[in-house]
Structures are given as C-alpha cells and as structure tokens.
Structure 1
Amino acid sequence: MHKVYTENIFSHKSFIAGVFCLYIVSFLFITITIGYLLGISVSSLNLPLAVILSSVLIIKQSGLNIRNTCLVILESIAGITIIGFIMAFLPDFSSDGNYYHQESVILQVNGWNPVYSPTELDISIWIKHYAKALEVTSAGILALTHNLESSKVINWILYIASVLIPYNAIRNLGWSRRKSISVTILLSCNPVVIGQLFTFFNDFAIYCELVILVSVFALIVPSADKKNSLYLWGIAVAITILAINTKFTHFMFIGIAWIIFGIYLIITRYYDLLKPYLAFGVISVLLGAAVTGFHPYVTNILTERNIFYPLIGDKKVDIMSGNTPEIFKGKNRIETFVISLTSIKSTCDSESKISDDILSYISNYGYGTRVNGFSPLFILILALSIAYGLKYSCNRRAWILSGILLLTCIVFEQNWWARYFPWIWAIPAILILGSTETTTKSKLLNLIIALEILVATASVVRMAGGCVSRKLFYDRLYEQMQKTPLKIANRTAVVTYKLNHNNALYIDVPISQIDSLKAVSYYDYYSRHLDIIELPDSFYTEITRPILLNKCMMLNKRLSSGSTNERDSN
C-alpha cells in the first residue's frame, strides 16, 4: 500500500480504515464458516479473532509506521463500538428483519450448524437454503455482546468501508480533495442503503460491495507495483466472497461487475492484468461458493439438486406476486421502471396508506418502499446530474458506465423496487466525477449535493424515528409483561428469544382466544398472524391510547379479513 496511493495522508488513512472495516467483516465471516465446516459452532471468540487478524494484516500492509497505523485501528474500533451501542438501543421494526433474518442469527448462536444440518429444523425455507453472510457475521457479534440488535453494527461496518475506500480511489484518479469529498458524499447518501442500516435487511450490501469492488478495480489498473497490485486483488477477492454469500442475486451482480471489468481490460489493452484477473476471479468463485459458501450452494445441490433453490428451478417459490403493486401489473419493464421513478402512489396491501398525497408518502417511506424507493427527489437529482454532465463535458466512460447501470434495470424484472437495484443511485456521482469541472463552486453541483443530503437526512430521521417509537412500545410492553403474563398467539422463535431475554411473562393461547379489539402484533401490525399479543387496559395511557387504538383497529381489520400478507421478499 505504498506507491499506488496518493501522498495525501488523510486519504491514505481513510483507505486504511476502510480496508480494516472490510477485513473485520471478511475475517468474521471466514472464521465462522470455516468453523462450521470443522463442526465448530459460532462463539464469542470469533469477533475478537477477526479484529486481531484484521489488525495484524493492516499493520503489515498499511505503509505507515506502527504508531499511526495503530491509531487508525483504535479510532476505527472506537467508532464501531459507539455505533454498536447506539444500534443496541434501536430495535429493528422491519417485517422480514424480525422474521427469518433475526431467526437465522439466533439459531446459529444457539448452536445450529447450517453445513451439517441445513434442513433438519422446522424453520423458514429462506433460512434453510438461502445465502446468509450478514446473518453469519451478525451471529458472531451476538455471541459476544448478547444483544441481538447490536449485531446490526455489521451493516455499518460494511457501509463505512464503502465510503472510505471509494474516497481514496477518487483521490488517486487525480481529483481535488473537495471534489473527492463531494462525490463521496453523493455515493454515500443512498436512501435504500441508509434505511436498511437500521434493520436486518441485506439488500443494501450489494451497493456497498459494488462500490468497493469498482473502487479497487480503479486502483488496480494504474498500479505499477506488483506487490500493491497483489494486495488490491486480495481486497477484490474478499469483497467478492462476501457478495457471493450475501444473496443469490448478489452473486450474479458481482459476477457481472467482474465480467465488465474483464471486457474493459481487453478493450483498453491491459493484457498484463488479464492473468491475475482470471486467477483471482476463479479463486473468488471457488472460495465463495465451494468453501465459505458450502452452505447454501453445495448443501442445496446435495438436498435439492438445485444450487439456487428456492429462487429458481421447478420448485421455485414465488415471492413477487404478492409484493407487486397494482400500478405495475401488466406493464413492461421500461414502463414499470419509469413509473416507479415518477410516482408516489401504490395500491399494494403492504403500502396501502401511500397515496397521491406527498405527506402520506413521506410518512410511510422506509427500508423497502416499493414505489419510488429513492424518494420523489431522485428523478430531479438524475435530471440535474445529466444537465451537469452535458454542461461540463462528461467523458464517454462515465456515460457508458451510467448507461450500463440503467440497462441492468431494464433487462431484469422487479426494476421498480429500489432495494433490488440500489446502484442506480450512483449515476449522479459517476456523471459528476467524469466531468471536466475541477472545482466545487458550481451552483448546480451544490444543488445536487443539497438534494441528496436532504434525502439521506429524511431517511435517517424516518428510520431512527421508527426505531425509537418501537423501542418505547417494547419498553412499555416488557414493563407490563414482567408484572403480569399477557396472552400471546402463534409465538415465533424470534419473539420467544426477545421475551425471554427481557424476563417477560406470557401465556400461549390459540388466536381465537385473543380479543381482536385489543390485539397487536409484536413487531409489525400489518404482518402475518404471528406473535399476536392481547394488551390489557392498563397498558394504555393518554399518550399511547390514540396510536395503539389505531394499530389495534388495523390489525383487527386484517384478522377479520383473513389476509396474512406473507411478505417473504428476498
């Protein structure tokens, strides 16, 4: 990590911190999955071991003296720890997050080994057969902290890496510090990513993984030092292994990124890079799918004869019919993409409150918004960015890359759902980075930055507010249940874990014995018929009564209608 990087010490330290964060996630995942292959369950030792391995490797590779490198490491650990404490007090209020994502984490901490007993338990099909890199690493954190919500810090560690590494790459492309910071801000304000940082959702990860991988590729091309080039290829392998094991679709998209880079090397005649490109590409796939990804890729072949079960194949599970808003049904892919970017209306059951009213849209905007998930301002941001690129002669490579990103949304289905294609958010940053304007004094650029910061801030406020609201509800609920047992129907493993962890008393009853006028779902009052709790009159206060009565009314309507709204949305 010497000649390749800029002499600017701030940029260099940012890169070291970003790679350190990436190493923590990678080593945590690798040590746990290798342990599974050896028959060893996740334990409280995995996270400290990952931090130690990451520290040793960074000290060896940083190019700084030990004192400065250790300061970067300690500052990174301190920042991660602070975020972890904050996350511990902000409960995830997403449906899928509280359903199978958290259950997967809990099962692993309780001793489940997905390599040797992938299908023996009576659990969700998505836990048995789906990729789960973030759930595995979250289990490593939970095993040490004994606080389920604190394990969401793994999202932030990956996010921090995706902010710091690109900044260094942009600086090494020759841009000024101000412009590098401006473009980095644009990349980091993605509302899909920010919204999911507060949850156990994992869609955001592909954005972080792609941003890191492309940044590393950008550093590899001009590298004349074989030692540094080898180091960079190692980072590319690490982030690729994570992507392969985060979601099946991420395997495909990270593979497309590798293919595009290979084509670029051929077109630009970087033939000397083709040999390491092919070698490290093969290593990434083998380690990602056959070793660390033995579960689910190999176990799926052994149990279902289908490596990507249940996403494709004869026995694939349809997860989209019930998740598709009416305004997209019967439309082609171009129409759905355009409608999604220009509309705020949805008639999907799970977004039934979204209407033509912008205030209603904002109040319901969250981690998995189906219509215009990048916010109503994104179409304006995109238009302004195109205008900026035209005004300041954006280079051809930036236009081509932006076109490729747009093309992916037209080629693949479900392009209306922002959580599946979060990289579209990077287009404005790419066009601005590729322009000839070298300063940050442009009013147009400042307007774009201001709009993106506004979107990001709104996402933080919305999600943090939802977490705080849910925490207040839970605190009140636990206080009540520590004194008097409450009736609960269809109790799940996740809620059982949380109730027991908080010494809550409860009585299991059939759902027919729950007073629907006093019933709320533990984590999502629009959800399935699971974890339905009957609240006593003493639970209500002057402040909580209007809100809780509204929730009870909504759930009562759903229970009466028989709608379960199964929202498995991988």
Structure 2
Amino acid sequence: MTLTQRLYAIGIMLFLWYVSLVFAPQLCLLLNMPISSWQFALSLLIFISFSWVFHRNYFGISQKRQFGINFLISLGLFLLCLLFAGSIYDTSFDGTWYHLDAVHLLKNGWNPSYKMLSEEETSYCSKYLNHFPKVPWIYAALVAKVTGNVEMGKAANLQLIISCLFVAQHMGRAIFKLSALLSWILAFLIASNPIQILNLGSFYVDGQVSSLTFLGMAFAIYQVVEGGWVKGFLALLAFALLANIKFPSAFYAILYVGAFLGFLWFTKAYKWQKMLTIALFWGVFTFGVLGWNPYMSNLIRMGHPLYPLSEGTEKVFKKEENYPANFLNTNRFERFFRSFYAEPKWARNPETSDLKTLFSHVPLYTYDYGVPDLAGFGPFTPEVFLLLFPLGLWVLFELKGKERKNAVFILSVLLIATFINPEAWVMRYVPQFWIFLVILVLLVLQRVKWQGPGFVLAVGLLLNNLTLLNQNIVKSYVHTSELKEQLNEVATSNGKIEFYPGWAKSFQYRLTDVGLDLQKQTYIPETDTSANKFTGGLGALYRKRKTE
C-alpha cells in the first residue's frame, strides 16, 4: 500500500467515523432510546465493519496488519479533531443560539422522533429544533455525551476537512493523472473551501454541506471510472447524509443522486430498472430512516415533510429583514454576483451592500465570527475568478469529445445546484460553488501549456483561504480566551458578581457548566449599561456587586 493509497483509505475511514457516529444514535432514537454513551460502542462496531468491507473490496487487503495501521491512524486523527474542537468556544450567533441548544437537548435526553419541544424549553427556537434536519446535532450530541465536553461536537468540521484532503490527493493522482505537487494543490483547494474553514470553530453546518458534497461527487466519479459497488455505495451514503444536514441540501442531494444514476444509465453501465430500484431504496433510507425526523415526522405532524418551508420561504427567511436594501428588487443571479463582488460584511435592510474595488485591500474583521452574508468566499476570490473563468472556458472548449461532455455535465450540475437556491447570494448556503471554481482550476492544470497560469491562480485561491483561516482561528482563540476569563471570574466570585444570564438557554448551560446555580444568583436588568457583556453571550451581562 503506497502512501497515497494509505491516506486515501484513512480519508474514507474518517468519513466512516462520521457515518457511524450518526447512524448508531439515529437508529436508537427511532427505537425510542435517547442518546447515551453506550451507543459509541455500537458506532465503533459499525465503523469497523464498514471499514473492513471497504479495505477488502477496494484494496483486496486481507492482512489485518494494514487495516490495523489505518484504523489507529484514523482514530488518532479523530481524537485530534476532538481536542481541537474542544479547545474553542463557539461564540457565533446561530451556533450559540439554536445549534448548541439542540445539541444540549439531545444530549440530555430529548428524542425528536417522539417529542416536540415547546418554545419555553428552547432558546425561542422550537420551530427550528422540532422541524429542521438533525444529522449534525446527533453527531455532536453523542460526542458530547461520551466526552463530557459539548464543544467537542464541532469536531465533525475538521474531521470531514481532513477526509476531503486525503481523498482529493488520491483522486488527483489516480483519476486525473496529475503530479504529486499538483494533486496536493488540488487537495488543499478542496479541503480549504472558505465555507469549511470559517465553520471550523462553530456549530454552523454549512461546512459539512461542502464536505459531503465533495465526498459524494468524488465517490461517484470513482464509481464511474473504476466500477465496482463500494464507491457507488459510499457516494449514496454521502448524499444521504447531505440530505439530512439542512433543507436546501436535501434538494442538492436529490439533484446529485439523479445526475449520478442518470449518468450511469445514459452510459449503459446499468439498466434503468436497476437505477430506479437504487433510487427508491436510497429515498426510503434517506428520508424514512436517517431522516425520519424531520421529513416523515413533519409529514405526520404538520402535513408536509418540509415544514416550515412549506409555508413559504418568507416564514423562515424574510427579505425585508435579511436582505440588504439594494437587494430587495433583484433576481437571484444579480444578488449572487453583487454579493460575490461585495465588500465583506453583514448588511441588513436598511443597510446596503457595497461593491469592492477590485485588486484593493478590504478589511477582514467581518470574518472574525465566521462566514458573512456578503463576500463569503473571501477577499481575493473575486479577482481570481475574474481571471480564472475566461481561461477555464477557453480550456473547456479546447477539450474534445467525451472529456468535454463530462466536464460540462459536472459543471452544469454544480451551477444548477447553486442557483436552485433563491438565496444563493448568502455564500454559505451554496458552498458547492467553490467546487465549481476548483474544477475550473483542475481543467487548466491538466493542460500542460496552461499549467503556469493555472498554478498562479491556484496559489491565489490558497492565499485567500490561508488569510481567512488565520483571521478566523486567531480570533476564535481570542474570543475563547476572553470567555474563559469571564466565566472563571463569575465562577470564583463567591457571590460578589451579579449578572443577567441572557435569553439563550444554550449560554445559560455554559454558566451552569462552570458550577453556577442560576437559581441562587443575583440578577441585574438586561438593560444595565454599567455591566460587561459576555463574549458570545447573546446579551448576557455581568458586573461586580454594588456595595451599599
């Protein structure tokens, strides 16, 4: 087994760790058993079984030694992901608000398949928690239950990034016949998708949408090129998980599966009857087992599997509140490119977006808390795209026959997946567009005469991502340090500090985790202007007790 093959195997095993840590607790939830630590043992059994089958059928490995080495390395990387995630507090708004709320509730016994939460049991987000897809929350809840550290539930982001990195480097060598250097450049471009790296320190799930999209497409391409059933199974598994990350990703997953199976039928690899059977089984597993809650439970309880989206997107994403003022009367394509070429910031009505001056410096502080609504792919990507797109089209037209048709097919699927979302201007909702950019880079790098310009453009994108990574991770640790000091000050004050714990139960859990009994504390008004704000506290305040 070469190093490239070993890393590929480990990348797939990291993906299978994710699969197992979701499937075992989800099966137990369906059987009306709340998430519990013992389910990690079941996850481990599922992981070992899937990994062994992959090794036997793909590599033809019967030696336990090679499997054992890969198992130990993947386990070590998984543990490192846990340690990294546990070292950072999520101080983002949505991450602390409803994502962390859901993880705590699942960890503490809530079973969404059998019980709907009331508004009072949540941080005013019961509609989200009761009716939204839950795969990332289930993973995080089991990890939190086993480790006792809820922040470690964010480990899935880094875990899937490493999986993408290792799979992509093998793909560059085995499928696209690139040199080792160009394969690793391709791999780092895929793994450093700005949406993924800006989600590293938070419970936001858009990075997982990005990772699972790439892994599903990669396994599908392996299936088409190499045949066999293992890669096709992995592709369908990745797309099944993708459909249960969030509602828009369900539409993406259906599109990808339809394109994958349709391609196999069109190329006469399989008969249409077999493709239809596979599609039906995939649909039943994806929406009837893995996604019983929310899809089937929403249908039973609310009359529609996509509730509350069935009431109209305005119920979930109100234009008048969430759009920049100058986006209100524009179509989805205009909004997308205005956002793509905007200065990075959050701009909500009545604020407006501003187009950036190309090839000029822009402030980076907007990326401190994750992915902003505008310019979500980073500060340099618009300039690179301006040069990459015409060059990529030129190379595309230079291709011949089957090679061109396949490239156009994949690029078209990604563009459709991007623009079927009317809110594609919020870049974290459409991380698959980054894969579109990377494929353009790949097409250029495959042509010897264009490798020089392609290399420069690839480095430009990597510098963009490295800048974002540095900005976000450094600030994440700064915010974590601030919050740790604040929590420690409150926890060791012996009643000398009074505070307002905020409206979010998820942040109140953080206060109780440091030993505070919220029933015995002295509260201050939420309007107290003399108090200090907790970092990432969603309005929580504290101050020293005033003496008479």
Pick the aligned partner of 1:413 from 409, 414, 422: 422
RMSD: 2.9
The alpha carbon displacement at 1:75 in A equals 0.9
Equivalences for residues 457-536 of structure 1 within 5 A = 457-482=466-491, 483=493, 484-504=496-516, 512=525, 514-523=527-536, 531-536=539-544
Pick the aligned partner of 2:51 from 58, 61, 68.
Answer: 58
Correspondence list, 1:125-524, <5 A: 125-178=127-180, 179-224=182-227, 229-267=228-266, 269-272=267-270, 274-313=272-311, 317-321=315-319, 322-344=321-343, 348-349=347-348, 361-365=363-367, 366-389=369-392, 390=394, 393-394=398-399, 395-396=403-404, 397-435=406-444, 437=446, 442-482=451-491, 483=493, 484-504=496-516, 512=525, 514-523=527-536
C-alpha distance in structure 2 between counterparts of 1:199 and 1:436, whole Å = 34
Distance in 2 between residues matched to 1:372 and 1:293, nearest whole Å: 32
Which whole-Å CA distance do the structure 2 matches of 1:532 and 1:435 have between them? 51
Output the CA distance in 1 between the equivalents of 2:346 and 2:234. Answer: 44
Q: Is the 8 A contact 2:243 2:252 kept in 1?
A: no
8 Å contact from structure 2 (residues 325, 352) kept in 1: no
Which amino acid in structure 2 is aligned with residue 280 of structure 1?
I
Structure 1 residues 68 and 384, CA, compared in 2 at 3 Å: closer, same or farther? farther
Aligned counterpart in structure 2 of residue 99 of structure 1, from 97, 100, 121: 97
Q: 1:185 to 1:172 in 2, by over 3 A?
A: same
Structure 1 residue 388: Cα displacement:
4.1
Question: Unaligned regions of 5+ residues in structure 1, if any?
Answer: 1-7, 539-570
Task: Name the % identity.
Answer: 18
Q: Contact conserved, 1:265 with 1:274, CA < 8 A, in 2?
A: no
Q: Distance in 2 between matches of 1:203 and 1:350?
A: 24
2:51 is equivalent to residue 38 of structure 1: no
Residue pair 2:154, 2:203 contacting (<8 A) in 1 also: yes
Whole-Å separation in 2 of the counterparts to 1:494 and 1:440: 55
Flag the 1:146–1:430 CA change in 2: closer, same or farther, 3 A. Answer: same
Deviates more, 1:177-186 or 1:416-425: 177-186
Q: CA, structure 1 residues 444+329, in 2 after alignment: closer, same or farther (shift >3 Å)?
A: same
Q: CA distance change for structure 1 residues 521 and 165 in 2, over 3 Å: closer, same or farther?
A: same
Tell me, in whole angstroms, the C-alpha distance in 1 between the residues paired with 2:46 and 2:490: 43
Whether the 8 Å contact between 2:417 and 2:432 is mirrored in structure 1 is: no
> For the residues of structure 2 that align with 1:350 and 1:50, how far apart are their CA atoms?
46
The alpha carbon displacement at 1:71 in A equals: 0.9
Q: How many residues align?
A: 521
CA contact (8 A) 1:343 1:376 kept: no
Q: Could you tell me whether the CA contact under 8 Å between 2:169 and 2:184 is conserved in 1?
A: yes
* Contact 2:344–2:374 (8 Å) recurs in 1: yes
2:17 to 20, 24, 27: 24
Q: SS state of the match for residue 204, structure 1?
A: helix
The 1:359/1:296 distance shift into structure 2, 3 A limit, reads same
The separation in 2 between residues aligned to 1:211 and 1:448, in whole angstroms, is 21
**Which residue of 112, 115, 138 maps to 1:114?**
112
> CA 1:407 to 1:297, structure 2 compared with 1: closer, same or farther past 3 Å?
closer
Displacement after TM superposition at 1:429 (Å): 2.1
Per the TM alignment, residue 460 of structure 1 is displaced from its structure 2 partner at its CA by 1.5
* TM-score, structure 1 normalization: 0.84
CA distance in 1, matches of 2:222, 2:114: 40
Cα distance between partner residues in 2 of 1:23 and 1:297: 24
CA distance in 1, matches of 2:522, 2:280: 54
Question: What is the CA–CA distance in structure 1 between the aligned matches of 2:284 and 2:262, rounded to whole Å?
Answer: 21
CA contact (8 A) 1:195 1:367 kept: yes
In 2, Cα distance between equivalents of 1:266 and 1:465: 49
Q: Report the 3-state secondary structure (helix = DSSP H, G, I; strand = E; otherwise coil) of the residue aligned with 2:533.
A: strand
How far apart are the structure 1 equivalents of 2:412 and 2:285?
A: 31
Residue 309 of structure 1 contacts residue 316 of structure 1 at CA under 8 Å; is this kept in 2?
no
TM superposition shift of 1:275 = 4.6
The equivalent position to 1:47 in structure 2, one of 19, 34, 40, is: 40
Q: What is the CA-CA distance between 1:302 and the residue it aligns to? A: 1.9
Q: Which moved more, 1:11-20 or 1:117-126?
A: 117-126
Cα deviation digits, residues 46-104 of structure 1 (max 9, x gap): 23432332123323431332212211111111112122112211111110000110111
- After superposition, what is the alpha-carbon deviation per residue over 1:519-561, rounded to whole angstroms, capped at 9, x for unaligned? 425515xx5xxx42133399xxxxxxxxxxxxxxxxxxxxxxx
Relative to structure 1, the CA distance from residue 241 to residue 410 in structure 2 (aligned partners, 3 Å threshold; closer, same or farther) is closer
- Cα 1:223–1:399 shift into 2, 3 Å: closer
Partner Cα distance (1:513, 1:118) in 2? 29
- Equivalent position amino acid for 1:523 in 2: G
Residues of 1 paired with 2:310 and 2:420: CA distance? 17
Deviations 1:308-365 (A, max 9, x none): 1112226972324222122322112222122112221657249979976976631112
Structure 1 range deviating more: 139-148 or 300-309: 300-309
Secondary structure of the residue that 1:503 maps to in structure 2? Answer: coil
SS of 2:206's equivalent in the other structure is: coil
Query: What letter matches 1:453 in structure 2?
Result: L
Instruction: Please tell me whether the aligned partners of residues 346 and 372 of structure 2 are also in contact (alpha carbons under 8 angstroms).
Output: no
- Cα distance in 1, alignment partners of residues 390 and 508 from structure 2: 54
Does the aligned pair in 2 maintain the 1:337–1:415 contact within 8 Å? Answer: yes
- Residue 150 of structure 1 aligns to a residue whose secondary structure is helix
Q: Does the residue aligned with 1:487 lie in a helix, a strand or coil?
A: strand
Give the partner amino acid of 1:141: V
Which residue number in structure 1 is paired with residue 71 of structure 2? 73
Specify the code of the residue in structure 2 equivalent to 1:447: V
Deviation at 1:112, TM superposition (A): 0.7
Relative to structure 1, is the Cα distance of residues 439 and 202 closer, same or farther in structure 2, using a 3 angstrom cutoff? Answer: same
Residues 445 and 454 in structure 2, CA contact (< 8 A), matched pair in contact too: no
- Kept after mapping to 2: 8 A contact 1:90/1:464: no
Residue segments in structure 2 that go unaligned for 5+ positions in a row: none
Deviations 1:25-57 (A, max 9, x none): 112211111111112111112234323321233
Query: What code does the residue aligned with 1:536 have?
Result: K
- The alignment's TM-score, normalised by the length of structure 2, stands at 0.87
For 1:182 and 1:382, how far apart are their aligned partners in 2? 17
Displacement after TM superposition at 1:290 (Å): 0.9
